[in-house]
Chain A
Amino acid sequence: MIVLDKVSKKFRLSKKQKREMGNGYKGNFIWSVSDVSFKCQPGRIFTLVGPNGAGKTTTLRMIATMLKPSSGKIRVAGYDTVKNPEHVRKNIGFLTGSTGLYARLTPKEFVKYYADLNGMDEAIFKKRRDDLFDILDINEFANRRIGKLSTGMKQKVSIARTMIHDPDVVIFDEPTVGLDVITSRSIIQLIKNSKEMGKTVIFSTHIMGEVSLISDDLAIIHKGKLLYNSTYENFIAHMKTGTIEDEFIKIIKEA
């Protein structure tokens, strides 16, 4: 379970950023996320939709404890992200589309590294690694340097790294950005599998096709503010336009 309660995040502006904001902007800070509250339930996929720069990544980074909220509270798997960040991180898997891998390690070493950081028992780790490598077809390149793998192979290794410690909560931050159709589909499949396993899944995207494919719950974020938060069914039922994309643009424009 993920619970966000009136979460805000402000960033101090550098001189250069201030200049870029124009002469009209007088403050020293910018609110990247403002007063955002929502809940992600286990066994459901929560989709966070918003245009670029809406605050999706900042929100997910706060959930993953990389950033601290300026105000408000976040609880992940029962732990407060500020008070118990290590416990939170032990319970999450985090995957982004731009996630890099250590090119000089092999998939086996890479996955072991994260298993060790998660304090996994050796026997449990081996069993889980073998299962994941079988499911994802990693075995044939498990001992090759990651730098020599194709994009698709790398993404499979990323997935294995995300899931190796069997996290209760999985965070996907625009996981399909820049990937081909086949690799994107394997990510979507992973998200669905995570849901079936009863995990709490939060997924951010700006690709509307993906929203309709997997969402159980939907939130729309724009300029750091939450504009919509309900079930996907509700969203479809109350649409005033013909497509999800049009409805999304209408909500953004009305804000």
Chain B
Amino acid sequence: MKKTFIIFKKELIDTLRDKRTILVMIVIPLLLFPILINIATKITVKQRQKAEEKILNVALILNKNGGSFKSLLKGKKKINLKENVKEHEITNKIRNGNLDFAIIFNKDFDSKINERESGIVRLYYKSSEEVNIQKSRMVNLLKEFEDNLIFIRFKELKINRSIVKAVEIDEHDIASMKEKFGEKIGGFLPYIFVIFCFIGAMYPAIDLGAGEKERSTLETLLVSPAKRLQIVYGKFGVIFLAGILTAAISVFSLFLALKTSQEIPEEILTILLRIVDYKSILLVFTLLIPLCVFFAALLLSISIFAHSFKEAQSIMTPFNFLVIFPVFIGLFPGVKLDSVTALIPVLNVSLATKEIISGTIKAGLLAEVYMSLFILAGLSLYFCAKWFQREDIIFRNT
């Protein structure tokens, strides 16, 4: 036990002095979310503001119809009305950027309205991310115009407007805020911590296994009085700790990003932070512990097998997808935690997290998830220890 700790301590110092590991383990997960969320929200808000505040060049061809629409349009701010545009020029002018929108009333618009039929108004624009926001300004204007016309019709017919609404749906969603948001957040959280746990464990694993082989330091460690098991447990301990720490830092970073983001509305933020309480997060991390044991043992086994840093990296890369895939499956609607999915590693963590955050986890299923994960963790660690005792694996490159 003492020797295991000596090895653990040395490997930890060695790992913490490795700039590459620090970058993957601490810097990236810590900065990723604040940067990502702040940049994304800033860009979105700025684009929306820009789209909403832009003075739009709008061509209006009434064809001697819809006079009230013109006065409605004139009364609106940030609209530059152009009335002398010919219909055949419209497409080119929009394409060249001289016009943003063109509204053309069909020649029979007024007569159709008078006959209480639908009059056609054509709206021309060139769609893009920004124009779609501006388009809603135009559509809202046309709806306002339509509302006025409908109001007149009802008045002329002397009927109440509610006559066209036979059924009014009065919704009563009894799902709590926690349940409503829990599933969405709970689906996204495992994406972060499972993947970061794997990535965080990956570099120390490569460095402490294949890296030792490549640097020819393994031999001196093998001739020290430490037993192979003590060596493997010492190394495993550091890889496990790196994985857990990276996952914790990534979750902490996400909360930090949410808390510091000025663009997220206060009421949504309060709900988010209230839903994800510390008890739930702690419970989720107890699931992550056996999963991280599995990752650390798996990655160390691969690393011990590999000739070099490069080979270890190329073997581990496909495993990234093997980890991401079950987490991704867990995001599909309809995929629920049941007695079968509770046994599938990684997927069970993803699904159980959703339920824990929503507060709907059943004790029996949670026990099944723990059982499955602990068996997997135990087997992988046993395999890793055995693997490290095999001469043909340790000295595979000689």
In the complex, chain A residues 93-119 whose Cβ is within 8 Å of any chain B Cβ: 94, 96, 98-105, 109, 113-114, 116-119
Cross-interface CB contact of B226 among A64, A105, A117, cutoff 8 Å: A117
**Contact present for B223 and A92 (CB under 8 Å):** yes
**Contact present for B224 and A117 (CB under 8 Å):** yes
**Contact present for A90 and B220 (CB under 8 Å):** no
In the complex, chain B residues 339-398 whose Cβ is within 8 Å of any chain A Cβ: 391-392, 394-395, 398
Task: Give the Cβ gap from B63 to chain A, nearest Cβ, in Å.
Answer: 80
Cross-interface CB contact of A105 among B13, B216, B222, B391, cutoff 8 Å: B13
Task: Give the Cβ gap from B212 to chain A, nearest Cβ, in Å.
Answer: 8
Q: Mark A60-86, 1 if CB is under 8 A from B, else 0.
A: 010011111000000000000000001
**Contact present for B226 and A12 (CB under 8 Å):** no
Taken together as a complex, chains A and B put the C-alpha atoms of A100 and B18 apart, in Å, by 17
Does A89 touch B at the CB level, under 8 Å? yes
For residue B398, which residue of chain A has the nearest CB?
A57
**Contact present for B217 and A100 (CB under 8 Å):** yes
- Give every chain A residue within 8 A of B50 (Cβ-Cβ): none
- Give every chain B residue within 8 A of A64 (Cβ-Cβ): 222-223
**Contact present for A117 and B3 (CB under 8 Å):** yes
Does A161 touch B at the CB level, under 8 Å? yes
**Contact present for A114 and B224 (CB under 8 Å):** yes
Does A25 touch B at the CB level, under 8 Å? no
Cross-interface CB contact of B216 among A100, A104, A113, cutoff 8 Å: A100
Does B67 touch A at the CB level, under 8 Å? no
For residue A89, which residue of chain B has the nearest CB?
B225
- Give every chain B residue within 8 A of A119 (Cβ-Cβ): 225
The count of A-to-B residue pairs whose CB atoms sit within 8 angstroms is 68
Q: Mark B224-256, 1 if CB is under 8 A from A, else 0.
A: 111100000000000000000000000000000
- Give every chain A residue within 8 A of B83 (Cβ-Cβ): none
How many residues on the B side are at the interface (Cβ–Cβ under 8 A)? 24
How many residues on the A side are at the interface (Cβ–Cβ under 8 A)? 31
- Give every chain B residue within 8 A of A99 (Cβ-Cβ): 216-217, 219-220
In the complex, chain B residues 1-31 whose Cβ is within 8 Å of any chain A Cβ: 3, 6-7, 10, 13-14, 17-18
**Contact present for A94 and B220 (CB under 8 Å):** yes
Taken together as a complex, chains A and B put the C-alpha atoms of A58 and B394 apart, in Å, by 13
Task: Give the Cβ gap from A244 to chain B, nearest Cβ, in Å.
Answer: 28
For residue B216, which residue of chain A has the nearest CB?
A100
- Give every chain A residue within 8 A of B215 (Cβ-Cβ): 100-103
Cross-interface CB contact of B220 among A57, A67, A104, A161, cutoff 8 Å: A161
**Contact present for A113 and B225 (CB under 8 Å):** no
- Give every chain A residue within 8 A of B7 (Cβ-Cβ): 117
Q: Mark B58-96, 1 if CB is under 8 A from A, else 0.
A: 000000000000000000000000000000000000000
Taken together as a complex, chains A and B put the C-alpha atoms of A101 and B395 apart, in Å, by 18
In the complex, chain A residues 4-33 whose Cβ is within 8 Å of any chain B Cβ: 11-12
**Contact present for A67 and B225 (CB under 8 Å):** no
For residue A12, which residue of chain B has the nearest CB?
B392
**Contact present for A94 and B225 (CB under 8 Å):** no
- Give every chain B residue within 8 A of A98 (Cβ-Cβ): 216
- Give every chain A residue within 8 A of B14 (Cβ-Cβ): 102, 104-105
**Most chain B beta carbons < 10 A, residue from A64, A101, A104, A119:** A104
Task: Give the Cβ gap from A71 to chain B, nearest Cβ, in Å.
Answer: 15
**Most chain B beta carbons < 10 A, residue from A67, A103, A114, A118:** A114
Taken together as a complex, chains A and B put the C-alpha atoms of A61 and B219 apart, in Å, by 9
For residue A98, which residue of chain B has the nearest CB?
B216
For residue A113, which residue of chain B has the nearest CB?
B10
For residue A105, which residue of chain B has the nearest CB?
B14
Cross-interface CB contact of B223 among A11, A12, A89, cutoff 8 Å: A89
Taken together as a complex, chains A and B put the C-alpha atoms of A12 and B217 apart, in Å, by 25
For residue B19, which residue of chain A has the nearest CB?
A104
**Contact present for B225 and A117 (CB under 8 Å):** yes
Given A12-B392, A66-B219, A117-B6, are A104 and B17 also a contact pair (CB < 8 Å)?
Answer: yes
In the complex, chain A residues 197-217 whose Cβ is within 8 Å of any chain B Cβ: none
Taken together as a complex, chains A and B put the C-alpha atoms of A218 and B4 apart, in Å, by 39
- Give every chain A residue within 8 A of B217 (Cβ-Cβ): 99-102
Taken together as a complex, chains A and B put the C-alpha atoms of A173 and B217 apart, in Å, by 14
- Give every chain B residue within 8 A of A86 (Cβ-Cβ): 225, 227
**Contact present for A113 and B391 (CB under 8 Å):** no
In the complex, chain B residues 115-174 whose Cβ is within 8 Å of any chain A Cβ: none
**Contact present for B223 and A118 (CB under 8 Å):** no
Task: Give the Cβ gap from A121 to chain B, nearest Cβ, in Å.
Answer: 14
Cβ contacts A to B, 13 pairs, < 8 Å: A11-B392, A90-B225, A98-B216, A100-B215, A100-B216, A101-B217, A102-B14, A105-B14, A113-B6, A113-B10, A117-B6, A117-B7, A119-B225
B residues engaging A (CB < 8 A)? 3, 6-7, 10, 13-14, 17-18, 215-217, 219-220, 222-227, 391-392, 394-395, 398
